[in-house]
Structure 1
Amino acid sequence: MGAKAAIASSVADQGVAAFTNIIVLVVAARLSTAAGFAVFSMVYMVFTVLLGIGVSYVGQALVLERGEGRVRAACRSAATFTAVASTVIGLCMAGALSFVPGGTAGGLAVLGLVLPIVLTQDGMRYCFSALRLPHYALAADTVRLAVAVPALAVQPHGAGAVRLVAVWGISAVPALLVGAALLWPKVRHAPVDLRAYVRRGHLGQRFVIEFGVGNATSQLAVVGLGLFAAPLAVGALRGATTLFGPMNVLFNSATAFGPPLLNRVRGTDDKVRATAVLGIALAWVAVAWTVVLMLLPDHVGRQLLGATWASSSALLPASGSQYAGIALGTSALLTLRVLRPRATLPIQVVFSLASVVFMLVGYAADGVLGAAWGLFLGSALKATALWLRIAAVRRGTGAGAGQQAPGAAEEGVTAGSSAGPR
């Protein structure tokens, strides 16, 4: 598949996947009360954290693999490891939470039961990315969308989080089967090595630490905010995030499918210029989308988010600013992942923890609106730090070395390497 067709399929696939997530949240918001959607949001956010861990540990390391034979073996191993690990984690969740009272615990228990289905289906998308077959991922995710939307749409008004989570999870079975049928012919003769994922120095261990102090920290802080302070704040923040779903499409496309494409660009300077242009373009798209959302009539907003619209719409300026900062940070992170994968962890640690502090201080000062502006400040500072690190990498790269970017191959860091994305 050519580069242009691969990019088009990659963006389309991310669009379908993100649209499915948006529809799930929109339908849940319309079927639920504000309090019910807050419970569903907390369960869904826990899933988002688990998905991010899986993507970081398996997916982001997988797309850095090179060589046809290594890629095929890594893809089969990655799919198998994801299925096994998610089954163990899911059963532990379900067993531990089945007898805990409360709607949130019940929703999390059901999430544990469907976890192997949804995580394995999503993980195959990174296998198709590494194999440079994004149109296969698009096919599977289209099936996911076609099944999930009708399944949720027929649920009765007032359906609880437990029922909605169960329907959402089971609706991924057809997409899982389609993905497995497409992947199997490409990897059936490749060896399986699950020990690579528990071996010291596996690159995913570093990426999952970055995610843990990055996205997961802030998301779990929001969950904690709902559990110990204001449950409705979670629904408001999650509703605002839902409205920016199209931006998540573009961010996820860059993170998932950017490294294989960027590795085709020769020279450090050319790579940096390409991602700088990408970051600026994404930031402007975030600003434009924010303006569109702010101009929506209230009745249209209520059609999208139901009772949650009133609280989420007040966060649009802050959330839009945050997404502009995320755009610049995502492009910078992509650059460092290709040029110097080991350079991102210290920045992720410092500024992701700072984002949580800013969010909590903002909430103490001005409620959920202050929390949203705190998240913006953290995103802006992280993006600044990442681009400053890129400038330092460029200065430290000689003219000759600039034609051979010091990426994963030079540093000996691949998914299966014993040498030690968000």
Structure 2
Amino acid sequence: MGTRLAVFCSVADQGVAALTNIAVLVVAARLSSAAGFSVFSLVYTVFTVLLGLSVSYVGQALVLERGAWQGVRAACRSAVVFTGCASTAIGVPLAAALAFVPGDTARGLCALGAVLPIVLTQDGMRSCFSTLRLPHYALAADLVRLAAAVPALAAQPPDAGPARLVAVWGLSAVPALLVGAALLLPRLRGVPADPVRFLRRGHLGRRFVVEFAVGNGAGQLAVVGLGLFATPLAVGALRGATTLFGPMNVLFNACTVFGPPVLNRYRDASDKVRATALLAAALAVVAAAWATVLIFLPDRIGRELLGDTWAVSSALLPATGSQYAAMALGTCALLTLRVLRPRATLPLQVVFSLLSVACLLTGYAVGGVTGAAWGLCLGSGLKAGAAWTRTVVVRRSGSRSGNVPGGVRRWVTGRRAERPKS
């Protein structure tokens, strides 16, 4: 598959996954009471966190796998087995512990535990397809997921309980799981599975899990800070403005998940840096253009999207749009570092995620909600500047992790990689 088609399929797959999440929440909201939807949202948030941990620990390390093709296939097979076993080890005890606990929340989490192996394993196959340079297969499986999930939920009766909705949502992933398995397993036949490799010392996914935890922890801390020092309207305004930039999040996620295999098609580190620099500029332009569209959006349409929150969120769009342009630059810089020198990203994530929280709170103290939005923009800009500075330093130092194909593989597996034949 050509590079352009691979990029298109990767971005399209990320868009389908995001559309599925949005559609699931919309259908669930229409079927549920306010209280029922609150429980469903809580359970879905728990799943999102578990999914993020799974993608960080297994998926992000897997897409960096390089070396002999036989070893890459073995890593994919090991990842599927590990994800299935780990999700079962978490989901089954969760379901068993909450099976007889009263309350909608407990029943919803019990249902999540029961379907967790299905949904996490199905999603984990996306990383395998990306690693094997088969993003169109991931797109096909996720289209099946979308086609099955929405009708299955829509067929439920009004006021369906959150536990039932969670169970139906999880079971609707079975067709996509079967399609993914049918496409993936023939390409993994004959290679051994070694799921223990993901538990060995030096597994790169541990660092990515810390990065995920730090990033999400910083976001939660920001919400807590606004809850302590701001009004609920301020929190809603900031979240409303951020929600409008959901399409940009799809593009950023596509870069993070599917970018490394595409970049690894370039043998020279300079070409990789040049490619991500061009991508960063393109994404920044897209973010600015999307912000312009939102700023000039008629109030009638804005109220259809956000209701009463539009009145206060619309004032934050210039700051939030600038923040997303800065995030485009930072995302591509971190993507470059993840390919050239994966260990370089964690310090940046820790320092500048906390700095963003400080900028947010300082901005609110100085200029209210608008100041908080510009504070987030400043934090994202500082992070992007530091990440690109680090990228230049790594490139000039002639990092072996960017030039020796076995470098990343050695960090991921904890074993010295086989040098590819010249």
TM range (shorter): 0.7 to 0.9
Name which of structure 1's ranges 103-112 and 270-279 shifts more when overlaid on structure 2: 103-112
Aligned amino acid, residue 196 of structure 1: R
Change (3 A) 1:87 1:358: farther
| Pairing 1:75–2:76 present | yes
8 Å CA contact 1:41–1:234 kept in 2: the answer is: no
After TM superposition, the structure 1 stretch with the greater mean CA deviation from structure 2, 96-105 or 286-295, is 96-105
User: 1:410 maps to which residue?
Assistant: 407
Tell me, yes or no, if the aligned pair for 1:41 and 1:238 is still in contact at 8 Å: no
Pair 1:138 & 2:139 matched: yes
Shift of 1:266: 3.6
Q: 1:237 to 1:88 in 2, by over 3 A?
A: farther
Q: CA 1:78–1:26 in 2, change beyond 3 Å: closer, same or farther?
A: same
Cα distance, 1:5 vs structure 2: 2.4
Aligned mates of 2:241, 2:33 — CA distance in 1? 17
1:5 corresponds in structure 2 to 5
Residue matched to 1:334: 335
- The aligned amino acid for 1:211 is F
Query: 1:246 corresponds to which letter in structure 2?
Result: P
Q: Check the 8 A contact 1:338/1:408 in 2, yes or no.
A: no
Moved more, 129-138 or 248-257: 248-257
- Structure 2 match to 1:152: 153
Cα deviations by residue, 1:192-250 (Å, 9 ceiling, x for unpaired): 10110111111111221222212x22344367679989888877666555432321221
| Aligned equivalent of 1:254 | 255
Identity, % of aligned positions? 67
Q: Partners in 1 of 2:185 and 2:286 — Cα distance?
A: 38
Query: Structure 1 residue 50 and structure 2 residue 40: aligned?
Result: no
Aligned length: 415
> 1:405 and 1:357, CA in 2 relative to 1: closer, same or farther beyond 3 A?
same
Larger radius of gyration: 2
What letter is aligned with 1:354?
A: L
CA RMSD of aligned residues (A): 3.5
Compared CA separation, residues 95 and 325, structure 1 to 2 (3 A): farther
Residues 1:16 and 1:213: Cα distance change in structure 2 (over 3 Å): same
Match of 1:377 in 2: 378
Name whichever of 371-380 and 383-392 sits farther off.
Answer: 371-380
Distance between the aligned counterparts of 1:69 and 1:113, measured in 2? 34
Structure 1: segments with no counterpart, 5+ residues: none
Distance 2:91 2:132 in 1: 28
In 1, Cα distance between equivalents of 2:102 and 2:378 = 37
1:188 aligns with 2:185: no
> Normalising to structure 1: TM-score of the pair?
0.84
Correspondences of 1:19-418 after superposition (within 5 Å):
19-28=19-28, 40-66=40-66, 67-96=68-97, 106-154=107-155, 161-214=162-215, 216-221=216-221, 240-301=241-302, 303-304=304-305, 315-359=316-360, 372-397=373-398, 405-406=402-403, 409-410=406-407, 413-418=410-415
The alpha-carbon distance between structure 1 residues 374 and 239, as it changes in their structure 2 partners (threshold 3 A), is same
Higher relative contact order (CA 8 A, sep 6+): 1
* SS of corresponding position for 2:412: coil
- Letter aligned with residue 13 of structure 1: D
Aligned 8 A contact 1:34 1:235 in 2 = no
The alpha-carbon distance between structure 1 residues 158 and 354, as it changes in their structure 2 partners (threshold 3 A), is farther
Q: Contact 1:34/1:308 (CA < 8 Å) preserved in 2?
A: no
| CA distance 1:363–1:170, change in 2 (3 Å) | farther
Give the aligned residue type for 2:50.
L
- Higher deviation after alignment, 188-197 or 82-91: 82-91
